Amino acid sequence: MKRISGLRIREMVKKELRQLLRDPRARGVLFVAPIIQLVMFGYAVNTDIRNTATFVVDQDQSSESRRLIDVLTATGYFEIVGRSQGPADLVRALDRSEALIGLEIPRGFARDLSAGRTAKVQIVLDGTESNSATVAQGYAQRIVQRFSLERAAELGLVPEGGVDLRVRAWYNPNLESRVYNVPAVVAVLIMLMCLMLTALAVVRERELGTLDQLMVSPLTAEELMLSKTLPVAAIGLVDLVLISLVAVVWFDVPIRGFPPSLLLAAVLYILAGLSIGLLISTISRTQQEAFMTMFLFLQPAIILSGFFYPISSMPQIFQWVTLLNPVRHFLEIVRAIFLKGEGLAALWPQYLALTIMAAGVLRLAIIRFPRTVRA
Amino acid sequence: MNEAVRVRELTRHFGQFVAVDQVSFDVAPGEIFGFLGPNGAGKTTTIKMLTGLLSPTSGTALVAGYDVTQHPDEVKLNLGYMSQLFSLYPDLTVEENIQLFAGLYGVTGGRFAERRDWVLGMAGLTEHRRRSTGELSLGWKQRLALGCAVLHEPPLLFLDEPTSGVDPVSRRSFWDLIYQFAEAGTTVFVSTHYMEEAEYCYRLALMNRGRLIALDRPAALKETLRQPLLELRTDDPPKALEALRGAPGVVEAAMFGRALHVLVQDEHRALRELPQALAARGRSCEALQAVAPSLEDVFVALVRREGGTLDR
């Protein structure tokens, strides 16, 4: 094998950087768009329940029933969008999606309470929006429970024995989904950028004819791949630092871990991402084909990453598939470093997985490359 | 050194399709060697095999004395290559393109400055050195691409249809450059489908459907056409062509621009008898005269003699 030439790589890297950064619009896409996207997604990707549309059917019309409703709305999780005394109105409100949740307080609620009997209330949920409904249900249940405990205490009825369940969320005490999601958005944005910059890199030169011109020169496949890799990796790192700053400063996401270990993970993740992009680029014949292949990879990579859906609740076979997904490993590292303050000691399997992927796929792209020219 | 290029039984298949079929030839150092044939004749495939862009299915090729499959690195250092696509980076400036290719070939320092200035001067781009390459006219791009291909002063230059799409004036001045290279000792291997360009070559290889059908100096190729050639002008050439096929004394007839070129056994008899033969078949004869054969006539005759058809 021929020796790798520093001069050739230097000239190729200069050329790549010129092509990437010359156009002001391209600079905007590279450095401003990720920040805008992070801010947008940071607000949009939000699974918290606030101001859930609630319809109240109060058939009791007592001070006790009104007190329960007040407690419910005071938390900010629920907003009363309609009141009525007839259950039929509740059905209509849910049918028309005017309300997500319905609270029904039957006649005799206050009477049962003061008599020391168990009073009944009913919560009706719109199950088509299963995610929000489940979360809202949990909140409502806890609020009603607390209400009944307070009432019991006021009446001097000490619950016999029983278990007082206290839930405390570590790392994210208020269970704010933003703190959990923003680091994940960072991971997805970086992957998207790596793929976009590399998936078209080789195939564009093939369409332009410049690839032939490079291949008749002494430039080797290794040198070509390195020159396509280094500039994108540098841009990816700059982007990562920029959007991490936005996450910390704007969204108050804490960085509890050691920032350099985050940087190391980012380098490995970026290398894995752009190796996949380069592989796509070397096996595609046209830019269009490369673009389609890229999205064919990106969609499942996001869904099978644990971003929205927990990996532990996927069927076993998909859990195994996610082990091949760099986004999954980086997400685990990012969330652990940002939120838990963990480091290399606890996360070495994820680091190792990313290293193997980056090296393996890049090697594959290099091996695959000459054949595509000489085929 | 012996031959600049030595090709033996070179063959390339693409699946079932045979793009280049057992081609053998030698190119002498310092000559302008032309490769003539219609699109799809196998010219580009051959050049790609000689420059290391494509591996041969079978056969051997030595370029500058090195086997293209066994010593591709040595081959690469000895050749310059320019394709019909003028493969430069349109989003880089003229100077940046030169700098890139100089770097790839290890042309640095004082030699780089000298070669860069030479390319800028040769291409007439000294004042436009900071312009984006994509904005240049086709003629300029073509000269810049040639300049980038010879930055490292290779002994061998491969030009794959270098003048396609370029206006005739630019084409002529491009050939002046090719002559300069040849005079300086560079071997130039050039493919084309322009007949008049083929005349500029020292020797010419005619290709059709992957096969080499003739190889000689242009003048010698024309002499292989033994029979006299007549040019016929008529009101409806396609119909007249049909009428001529099988007419007495006619060896071969083909369209040539708006006229017909007819290869005959005897010039004088044909001049006398052909107008009558055409009239008998209801076709007119506006003019009929003997003409000197062109390379196109030779090409057509050779293809027909091989029993093939022309893919046009």
Provide the pLDDT for residue A374.
43
Among the partner-chain residues A19, A208, A217, the one whose CB lies closest to the CB of B105 is A217
Tell me if B74 sits within 8 A of A233, measured CB to CB. no
* DSSP sequence for B207-239: EETTEEEEEE-HHHHHHT--S-EEEEE-S-HHH
pLDDT at B26: 93
Closest CA to B255 of B240, B270, B266: B240
Q: Considering only residues B48 and A163, tell me which one the structure prediction assigns the higher pLDDT.
A: B48
Contact B234, B286 (CB under 8 A): yes
Q: Is the pLDDT of residue B309 over 70?
A: no
- Contact status, residue A185 vs residue A42, Cβ threshold 8 Å: yes
| Cβ density class A236-255: b for 16+ within 10 Å, e for less | beebbeebbebbeeebebeb
Residue B193: the pLDDT is 82
CB contact under 8 A, B81 and A19: no
Split at pLDDT 50, 70, 90, the class of B130 is very high
What is the C-alpha separation between B80 and B158, in angstroms, rounded? 6
Please report the pLDDT score of residue B277 as a whole number: 81
Instruction: For residue A122, give the nearest of A103, A140, A109 by alpha carbon.
Output: A103
Share of chain B above pLDDT 70, in %: 97
Asked if the Cβ–Cβ distance from B77 to A218 is below 8 Å, we say yes
- Find the chain A residues whose C-beta atoms sit closer than 8 A to any C-beta of B: 2, 5, 7-8, 10-12, 14-15, 18-19, 22-23, 208-210, 212-219, 373-374
Amino acid at A157: L
Q: What is the pLDDT of residue A30?
A: 87
Residues 6+ apart with CB under 8 A from A137: A101, A123, A125
> What would the two tokens of residue B202 be?
């020292």
Range in A317-326, B122-131, B156-165, B234-243 with the lowest mean pLDDT: B234-243
User: What is the reported pLDDT for A169?
Assistant: 64
Least confident segment among A292-296, B30-34, B305-309: B305-309
What tokens does B140 get? Answer: 């300029």
Residue B311, pLDDT > 50, answer no
Both ends of chain A: CA-CA distance in Å?
20
The predicted structure's pLDDT at residue B151: 93
When the pLDDT of each residue in chain A is averaged and rounded to a whole number, the result is 84
Contact A18, A227 (CB under 8 A): no
Other Cβ atoms within 10 Å of A282 Cβ, number: 26
Instruction: Compute how many other C-beta atoms are within 10 angstroms of the C-beta atom of residue A375.
Output: 8
Question: Among partner residues B54, B73, B83, which is closest to A2 by beta-carbon distance?
Answer: B73
Q: Which residue type is seen at B76?
A: K
Nearest in space to A20 (alpha carbons), one of B261, B298, B233, B92? B92
Quick one: pLDDT at residue B25?
93
Which residues of chain A does B92 touch, with a Cβ-Cβ cutoff of 8 Å?
A: 15, 18-19
Closest-CA distance, B55 to chain A, in angstroms, reads: 6
Least reliable range by pLDDT among A79-83, A169-173, B142-146, B198-202: A169-173
At A263, the amino acid letter reads L
Statement: residue A375 has pLDDT above 60: no
At A145-154, the pLDDT tens digits run: 888 777 777 7
CB A62 within 8 A of CB A24: no
Q: How far is A274 from chain B (nearest CA, A)?
A: 22
The C-alpha atoms of residue B268 and residue B273 are separated, in whole angstroms, by 9
Q: How far is CA B2 from each of CA B5, B80, B159, rounded to the nearest angstrom?
A: 9, 19, 21
Question: A371 contacts in B (CB within 8 Å)?
Answer: none
- Domains for chain B: give ranges and CATH numbers: 5-217 (3.40.50.300), 226-292 (3.30.70.100)
* Domains defined along chain A, listed by start: 6-45+176-368 (no CATH), 52-154 (3.40.1710.10)
How far is Cα A57 from Cα A102, in angstroms, rounded to an integer? 8
Task: Yes or no: say if A231 and A17 are a contact pair by the CB < 8 Å rule.
Answer: yes
Q: Which tokens is A338 given?
A: 């940002």
**Residue A123, pLDDT score:** 86
Confidence of residue B167 (pLDDT cuts 50, 70, 90): confident
Q: Do A210 and B79 touch (CB under 8 A)?
A: no
Nearest C-alpha of chain A: how many angstroms from B169? 25
Query: Which residues of chain A does B98 touch, with a Cβ-Cβ cutoff of 8 Å?
Result: none
Distance in angstroms (rounded) separating the CA atoms of residues A103 and A57? 6
* Residue A258 pLDDT greater than 90, yes or no: no
Per-residue pLDDT band for B312 (boundaries 50, 70, 90) equals very low
> How far A9 CA lies from chain B's nearest CA (Å)?
8
The sign of the dihedral angle between the CA atoms of A55, A59, A62, A65 is negative
Number of CB pairs, chain A paired with chain B, less than 8 A apart: 79
**Strand B187-192 vs strand B203-208: parallel, antiparallel, or unpaired?**
unpaired
Distances (CA, A) of A369 to A220, A295, A375: 10, 21, 10
Both tokens of A283, joined, read 């096996």
Q: Which of B49, B54, B87 to mutate to test the interface with A (most CBs of A within 10 A)?
A: B87
A11 and B99 within 8 Å at the Cβ level: the answer is yes
Q: Which of B271-275, B282-286, B308-312 has the lowest mean pLDDT?
A: B308-312
Residue in B closest to A215 by C-alpha? B53
CB contact B89 to A (< 8 Å): yes
% residues pLDDT > 90 (chain A): 20
pLDDT at A10: 93
- Tell me the Ramachandran region of residue B245: left when phi exceeds 0, alpha when psi lies from -120 to 50, beta otherwise: beta
For residue B156, is pLDDT > 80? yes
- Rounded to the nearest 5 degrees, what angle is found at the Cα of A63, between the Cα atoms of A59 and A66? 65
Identify the weakest region by mean pLDDT among A122-131, B192-201, B300-309. B300-309
Q: Between A329 and A133, where is the model more confident?
A: A329
Give the pLDDT confidence score for residue B307 in this predicted structure. 60
A257, pLDDT greater than 50: yes
Q: What is the pLDDT of residue A65?
A: 86
Set of chain B residues whose Cβ sits within 8 Å of the Cβ of A5 = 106
Rounded Cα distance between A308 and B168, Å, is 63
pLDDT at residue B120 tops 90: yes
Segment among B4-13, B184-193, B221-230 with least mean pLDDT: B221-230
Residue of B nearest to A223 (CA): B104
Average pLDDT over residues B300-310: 70
Q: Do A216 and B101 touch (CB under 8 A)?
A: no
Instruction: Give the residue-averaged pLDDT of A101-111.
Output: 87
Residue A249 near residue A334, CB atoms below 8 Å: no
A125-164: pLDDT as tens digits? 888 877 778 778 888 888 888 887 777 777 776 655 556 6
CB contact under 8 A, B87 and A215: no
pLDDT tier at A372, thresholds 50, 70, 90: very low
Strand pairing category for B79-82 and B156-160: parallel
Q: How far is A209 from chain B (nearest CA, A)?
A: 5
pLDDT digits (tens, 9 = 90+) for A13-49: 999 999 989 888 888 888 888 889 888 888 877 666 7
**pTM of structure:** 0.77
Contacts of A215 in chain B (CB under 8 A): 52-53
At B145, is the pLDDT very low, low, confident or very high (cuts 50, 70, 90)?
A: very high
Q: Which residues contact A192 (CB under 8 A, 6 or more apart)?
A: A298
Report B:136-155 residues touching A (Cβ under 8 A): 148
Interchain pair B87, A212: CB under 8 A:
yes
| A131: nearest Cα among A227, A41, A45 | A45
Reported as a pLDDT band with limits 50, 70 and 90, residue B288 is confident
**DSSP-assigned states of every residue in B87-149:** ---TTSBHHHHHHHHHHHTT--HHHHHHHHHHHHHHHT-GGGTTSBGGGS-HHHHHHHHHHHH
Contacts of B150 in chain A (CB under 8 A): none
Residue A307 half-sphere exposure toward CB, CA atoms < 13 A: 24
Chain B residues in contact with A7 by the CB 8 A cut-off are 103, 106, 108
Concatenating the DSSP letter of every residue in B147-215 gives HHHTTT--SEEEEESTTTT--HHHHHHHHHHHHHHHHTT-EEEEEES-HHHHTTSSEEEEEETTEEEEE
Interface probe, candidates A1, A4, A214, A216, chain B, greatest B C-beta count within 10 A: A216
| Spacing of C-alpha B66 from chain mean position | 24
Averaged over A345-355, what is the pLDDT?
91
Measured between alpha carbons, how far is B73 from B75 in angstroms, rounded to an integer?
5
